Structure 1
Amino acid sequence: MTDEHDSEWTKEDTQRLKREMRDEAIRLRNEFAAEWKRAMAEQAEQRRAGATRGPGGPRGGGPRVRRGGRAALSREAIVESAAKIMEKDGLDAVTMRKVAWDLDTGPASLYVHVRNMAELHGLLLDRQLGELDLEGGEGGWQERVIAVVEGFVALLFAHPDLARSALTARPQGPHTLALVERLLGLLAEGGVPTGQRAWGVDILLLWATATAAEHADHEAEAAPDSATSQALIAAMTGPGYPHIREVGLDLIAGTVEERSSWALRVLVNGIAATARD
């Protein structure tokens, strides 16, 4: 039986809870504002120092440091810290607060360099793209396009957390630009018109990202006796689905690699053959 005293909630309790929530919100707001002002002041100080001392940095050489002897914040330092946390605990463990703690600063300081978590995820993916071999592959331009895109998919397979986030946070940075430049160059080598190259690269990267994200959500291939396969097999032998019956087991035949390779050939050939209106 519930204690009558425990079940009572008075008007005074409600007012007290509201006051506590308001006080906590004010405290958090003031803390964030103080962190932001400190970060902006440090950035202004660094800009003044750079303008006074020139591009070579402070007298005596070496990188500039923040007050208290801490290394100056930069986008690169934030990404490296986030990558370290991701490699240890996964992408979900990467938060602005954890990165700030690792860099011995406050979360508000990070927003001077990185707008939000989506941008940070994109920068993390760009960092991983530095591992991608853009010059690999043999044969004609189509085969080399496929080799580059397959390499991108394999890299995302190796980092499933990033593969999922890439659906909403596009990679950005020098490695991403190098990937786009390489694909555009290969399509140009094949004589693909400019407009088709521009849209074609977008299609190839979207396909690669979606394929890797789907793989990340289903790390093991569906078993042949899965519910989907059973439904298709039943349709192949039953009435009402003549086209499914005609195609038969080809609907579920082939390995993931074989089906992906075929899909890429379809995309590349279609990009080359389909004019933009």
Structure 2
Amino acid sequence: MKPNREIISRRARPAKEPLSHEIIVKTAYELLKEEGTSGMSMRKVAKALDTGPSSLYVYVKNLQELNSYVLDHGLGQLVLPELTDGDWKEQLFRALDAYVMLLMEQPGLAELSLQAIPIGTHAFRLNEYLLAVLQKGGITSTSAAWGMDLLLLYVSSVAFEQAARSKHGEEHMAAIQHSYQATDPVRFPLIHSMKEELFSGDTVSKERFYWGIEVILNGIVHANGLNRNSISSRK
């Protein structure tokens, strides 16, 4: 006698959440946190949603556009300081500090920030904030727009470097530092003489991070009076 088999109707299964732009972005973001940018292929996102890759193209044009939306989704967790009448530089430093911490704390986000330009209200909110702060400092138009781009790129690169260090461990970084300290003083005299300075900068107080922002900001302030014609004439 054959054992009785329980037949489960397809109608009894949990209903699959309808495909949408929002669910695609959220799913891709979860894959980003688990596997990094390599986990965000259209094929892997489609598999996680139990659908075919072609279905995703109804909602996003391509992987690059998906990356932009995913990055914006991640920026939704960014808490910016309140804009006040106080020191504009201090507000800029605090905003960029919040941004770099978010990129470092959320797996994969720092890497993605170097590959995509975010699209959406969260990215626009960050851009609007930085432009407003720069405008408070008397920096406007082209200098503000280009300067903001430099500042964001700098923060992304710092966050990516720190994320890579955390991934590989302190031993890897110690080995690199040892290689620099052991350089031949005859062949590489400057590296040898500045072997300590090359790796200096208090990580806890973010001394080196803030120094980089200050250097970029000084350049933006200096260039604020230039117009595009004068810049082009130097090329």
Same fold (TM over 0.5): yes
Amino acid at match of 2:174: A
**How far apart in 1 are the matches of 2:51 and 2:109?**
25
Q: Which residue of 1 aligns with 2:223?
A: 274
Aligned partner of residue 196 in structure 2, secondary structure: helix
CA contact (8 A) 1:121 1:162 kept: no
Quote the offset at 1:103 in angstroms.
3.2
Q: 1:242 to 1:112 in 2, by over 3 A?
A: closer
User: Which of 33, 52, 61 is residue 106 of structure 1 equivalent to?
Assistant: 52
Within-5 A mapping of 1:10-89: 71-89=17-35
Amino acid at match of 1:133: V
CA contact (8 A) 1:229 1:252 kept: no
Identity %: 36
CA contact (8 A) 1:100 1:110 kept: yes
Q: CA RMSD in A?
A: 2.8
Aligned partner of residue 131 in structure 2, secondary structure: helix
> Could you give the per-residue CA deviations for residues 95-139 of structure 1, whole angstroms, max 9, x where no partner exists?
323332443432101012112222222222111111111225995
> Could you give the per-residue CA deviations for residues 27-82 of structure 1, whole angstroms, max 9, x where no partner exists?
xxxxxxxxxxxxxxxxxxxxxxxxxxxxxxxxxxxxxxxxxx75543211211122
**How far apart in 1 are the matches of 2:16 and 2:107?**
33
Moved more, 173-182 or 260-269: 260-269
User: Which of 135, 151, 165 is residue 188 of structure 1 equivalent to?
Assistant: 135
CA contact (8 A) 2:25 2:70 kept: yes
CA contact (8 A) 1:136 1:148 kept: no
User: Which of 233, 251, 254 is residue 198 of structure 2 equivalent to?
Assistant: 251
TM-score (norm 1): 0.64
- Find the structure with the greater CA-based Rg: 1
CA contact (8 A) 2:72 2:120 kept: yes
**How far apart in 1 are the matches of 2:130 and 2:101?**
16
Structure 2 unpaired stretches of 5+: 1-14, 231-235
* Number of aligned residue pairs: 204
Amino acid at match of 1:119: E
**How far apart in 2 are the matches of 1:274 and 1:81?**
43
Quote the offset at 1:240 in angstroms.
7.5
TM-score (norm 2): 0.74
Moved more, 216-225 or 252-261: 216-225
CA contact (8 A) 1:149 1:208 kept: yes
Within-5 A mapping of 1:192-207: 192-207=139-154
